Amino acid sequence: MFVLLIRLLIFALIFYIIYGIIKYLLSPKRKLELAHDQKKYFLYDDPKNVRKNFLLTYKGVLFEGEKYLGTTKQSFDVVSIFVWVKDDSKLQGLSRDDFKFIESKLKAYYPNAKIDWKSPIKEFLLNKNQW
């Protein structure tokens, strides 16, 4: 009886460890950190929760975005998104095409949203006469 109980506890412990490893490997937060380190694109967002901000990484730069709910002709949807960078010094090397790429990816998720950038990206995109 005691041996059977020990075996059952060992089996449960092994199952719990395997479950924890799988949960860790499939974690979106871990995928965001990995994409940030590898300087790839990744969007960490909960589209069903409008109140929760999203995180986006692209070329080693971490952006945060705030979504606002509003009305469209068909339904209630995200109509406005404000995006800002976490660390301004990481923007070095990004071009207008990079920001257009980010906007196109966000438009794929939120087609009715108007995307606004906060400073200093807003001034960069408005100033067409860059040297």
Q: Distance (Å, rounded) from C-alpha 117 to C-alpha 84?
A: 6
Instruction: Give residue-wise pLDDT tens across range 68-115.
Output: 988 888 888 888 999 999 888 888 888 888 999 999 999 998 888 899
Helix (H) or strand (E) holding 87: none
Q: How far is CA 37 from the centre of its chain?
A: 14
Cα torsion 63, 40, 88, 68 to 10°: value is: -10
Structure-model confidence comparison of residues 88 and 58, the more confident one: 58
The domain locations on the chain are 28-126
Q: For residue 56, how many other CB atoms are within 10 A of its CB?
A: 22
Question: What is the share, in percent, of the chain residues with pLDDT greater than 90?
Answer: 45
Confidence of residue 128 (pLDDT cuts 50, 70, 90): low
Task: Give me the percent of the chain exceeding a pLDDT of 70.
Answer: 97
Query: Residue type at 26?
Result: L
Q: Please tell me the predicted confidence (pLDDT) of residue 48.
A: 83
